[in-house]
């Protein structure tokens, strides 16, 4: 069995729940069968659509670097034909038996079409709400959860609240490229000079779209309808849609997003987290493991932490500010200032294989998510290992905790409730650990992998067999020195 996993990020360069899960799944599947990973992401140090490869001891990671995008380039965010054609060429070389998509954000919905053209079964795990929400978490720019999908509201969120700084950057780029076009026109206007002038003029026109009537048409609600229709049509071509929670499945069905088959699946955890022993002579160690975004709620955690008695606790912050399509410069500046407060340690991002080790260094994991979630991997690992958790009562997180226990649930976007929960955990860590209790019924990673392999076998009609590839390990060791 040859499996290709598709995503838009991979730790440590990409850090968030679905990136951690994609790497975990690749690690576990590669112990049982052949695995390849295909990524599409932006790296300012790389040329647009440049391709590079990384050899892991058990699988290969291929990355296509797409150009920087904003919501003014809306069609490119879900229909990047260059990425799709790169993926088609990739399929011709790898020849997989099944394609399992973990995320299409920034990749291209057309990758499903490319796989189906070759009669390759396609599985899509809807790890977040990107098919419904461009910001993935259904949490609006003005700090409000979106319980209903309203394209007029989406339009206000994505476009009318674009930062002035982004518009100014576009205006500056437009003027610069227009000067380049005029200069090459004056230098000859024929041959190579004409080509350079035309290229610069086309790029200048793209930069000018947000300021011209012709450009504004591309950011009206009807443009979001086109995005919505294209993504729904692509998902209809998939053989199976998986969701990590029943909540997510119900939300997608309610919004009319379905494939030939949709199924909720319980994702597992390694169960290797070992909470550190309590010591009254040292401060309680709290932890945050996620990307830094408005929807992740890091700012609310830091504000609540800052009100705790000095020296009673310390906060370890893992992750980083992710450069998303609608990056909020003000939020980045705010978080950068907040994490400099006393008692806060910034630990950065890491690979999925060390997640259990990082969690084992904590006394309490805090999941202060404001947007809708799907039972993230750090939460599952903490619950499976008996690490106390404080989490907001949102979506798949609430569904999981209500089923297995092991966490203190608080209302989302309720600073007073978060502060009160932190005070309980810090005042008497032993009593808090007892009150929270121990979770049960978290599936093992082995069971999750078995379930995935059964799905692949049913779709392909082929049994998976263990693959020993010492030559790949040798190549990886030589390549990564």
- For 20-51, give the DSSP string: HHHHHHHHHHTTTSEEEEEEEE--TTS-TTEE
Residue 20: which CATH number? 3.40.50.2000
Q: Tens of pLDDT along 259-294?
A: 788 999 999 999 999 988 888 889 999 999 999 988
Residue 180 has pLDDT above 90, yes or no: no
Which tokens hold the place of 141? 């720019």
Cα 301 to Cα 306: distance, rounded to the nearest angstrom: 9
Residues 214 and 228 in one domain: no
Same domain, 325 and 432: yes
Same domain, residue pair 293 and 430 = yes
End-of-domain residue from the set 203, 219, 235: 219
Alpha carbons 150 and 82: distance in angstroms, whole number? 30
In this structure, the answer to whether residues 135 and 36 fall within a common structural domain is yes
Query: Which of the two residues, 397 and 441, has the higher pLDDT score?
Result: 397
Is the pLDDT at 334 greater than 70? The verdict is: yes
- Provide the pLDDT confidence category of residue 23 given band limits of 50, 70 and 90: very high
Between 259 and 251, residue with greater pLDDT: 251
pLDDT in tens, 300-315: 999 999 999 999 999 9
Answer yes or no: is pLDDT of 452 > 90.
yes
**Residue 156, domain member (yes or no):** no
Same domain membership, residue 192 and residue 70: no
Indicate if 261 and 342 belong to the same structural domain: no
**pLDDT class for 206, splitting at 50, 70, 90?**
low
Res. 385: pLDDT tops 50: yes
Task: Specify whether 290 is located in the same domain as 373.
Answer: yes
| pLDDT for residue 44 is more than 90 | no
Q: How many domains does the chain have?
A: 3
Residue 98 contacts residue 1 (beta carbons within 8 Å): yes
Is residue 76 scored above 60 in pLDDT?
yes
Q: How many CB atoms lie within 10 A of CB 415?
A: 14
Same domain assignment for residues 378 and 307: yes
Rounded CA-CA distance 138/251 in Å is 11
Q: Does the residue 155 lie in any domain?
A: no
Per-residue confidence band for 161, with pLDDT thresholds at 50, 70 and 90:
very low
Q: Is residue 149 part of a domain?
A: no
Residue 335 falls inside a structural domain: yes
Q: Please give the backbone phi and psi of residue 197, each rounded to the nearest 5 degrees, phi first.
A: -65, -45
What does the mean pLDDT of the chain come to? 83
Decide if 424 is inside a domain.
Answer: yes
Q: Give the other-Cβ count within 10 Å of 142's Cβ.
A: 9
Query: Based on the domain organization, do 10 and 57 belong to the same domain?
Result: yes
Whether 19 and 126 share a structural domain: yes
Residues 320 and 215 in one domain: no
Enclosing domain of residue 168: 164-219
Residue 373 pLDDT: 85
Average pLDDT over residues 51-74: 82
In a domain, 288, yes or no: yes
- What is the spatial distance between Cα 124 and Cα 262, in angstroms, rounded to a whole number? 10
Look at residue 219 and tell me whether its pLDDT is greater than 70.
Answer: no
Q: Are residues 8 and 121 in the same domain?
A: yes
Q: Is residue 272 part of a domain?
A: no
Distance CA 450, CA 448 (A): 5
Q: Quote the pTM value.
A: 0.84
Task: Name the nearest CA neighbour of 390 among 479, 263, 305.
Answer: 305
Question: Is residue 274 in a domain?
Answer: no
């Amino acid at each position: 069995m040859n499996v290709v996993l598709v995503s838009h990020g991979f730790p440590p360069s990409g850090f968030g729940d679905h990136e951690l899960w994609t790497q975990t799944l690749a690690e576990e599947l590669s112990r049982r069968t052949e695995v390849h990973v295909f990524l599409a992401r932006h790296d300012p140090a790389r040329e647009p659509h440049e391709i590079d490869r990384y050899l892991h001891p058990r699988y290969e990671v291929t990355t296509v670097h797409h150009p920087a995008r904003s919501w003014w380039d809306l069609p490119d965010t879900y229909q990047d034909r260059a990425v799709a054609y790169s993926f088609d060429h990739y399929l011709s070389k790898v020849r997989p038996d099944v394609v399992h998509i973990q995320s299409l954000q920034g990749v291209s919905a057309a990758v499903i079409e490319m796989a189906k053209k070759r009669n390759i079964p396609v599985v899509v795990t809807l790890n977040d709400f990107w098919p419904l929400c461009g910001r993935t978490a259904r949490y609006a720019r003005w700090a409000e959860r979106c319980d209903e999908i309203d394209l007029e509201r989406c339009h206000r969120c994505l476009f009318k609240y674009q930062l002035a700084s982004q518009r100014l950057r576009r205006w500056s780029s437009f003027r610069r490229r227009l000067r380049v076009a005029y200069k090459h026109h004056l230098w000859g206007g024929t041959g190579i000079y004409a080509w350079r002038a035309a290229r610069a003029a086309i790029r200048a026109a793209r930069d000018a779209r947000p300021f011209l009537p012709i450009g504004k048409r591309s950011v009206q609600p009807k443009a979001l309808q086109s995005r919505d229709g294209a993504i729904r049509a692509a998902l209809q071509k998939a053989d199976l849609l998986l969701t990590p929670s029943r909540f997510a499945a119900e939300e997608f069905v309610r919004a009319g997003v379905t494939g030939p088959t949709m199924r909720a699946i319980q994702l597992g955890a390694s169960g290797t987290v070992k909470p550190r022993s309590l010591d009254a002579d040292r401060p309680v160690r709290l932890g945050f493991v996620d990307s830094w975004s408005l929807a992740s709620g890091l700012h609310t955690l830091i504000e609540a932490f800052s009100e705790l008695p000095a020296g009673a606790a310390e906060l370890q912050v893992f992750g980083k500010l992710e450069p998303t399509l609608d990056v909020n410069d003000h939020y980045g500046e705010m978080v950068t200032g907040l994490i400099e407060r006393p008692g806060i340690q910034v630990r950065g991002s890491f690979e999925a294989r060390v997640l259990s080790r990082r969690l084992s260094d904590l006394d309490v994991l805090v999941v202060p998510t404001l947007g809708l979630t799907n039972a993230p991997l750090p939460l599952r690992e903490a619950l499976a290992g008996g690490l106390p958790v404080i989490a907001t009562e949102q979506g798949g997180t609430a569904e999981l905790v209500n089923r297995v226990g092991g966490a203190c649930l608080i209302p989302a976007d309720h600073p007073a409730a978060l502060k009160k929960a932190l005070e309980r955990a810090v005042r008497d860590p032993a009593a808090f650990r007892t009150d929270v209790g121990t979770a049960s019924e978290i599936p093992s990673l082995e069971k999750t992998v078995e379930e995935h392999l059964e799905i692949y076998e049913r779709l392909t009609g082929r049994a998976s067999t263990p693959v020993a590839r010492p030559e790949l390990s040798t190549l990886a060791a030589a390549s990564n020195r």
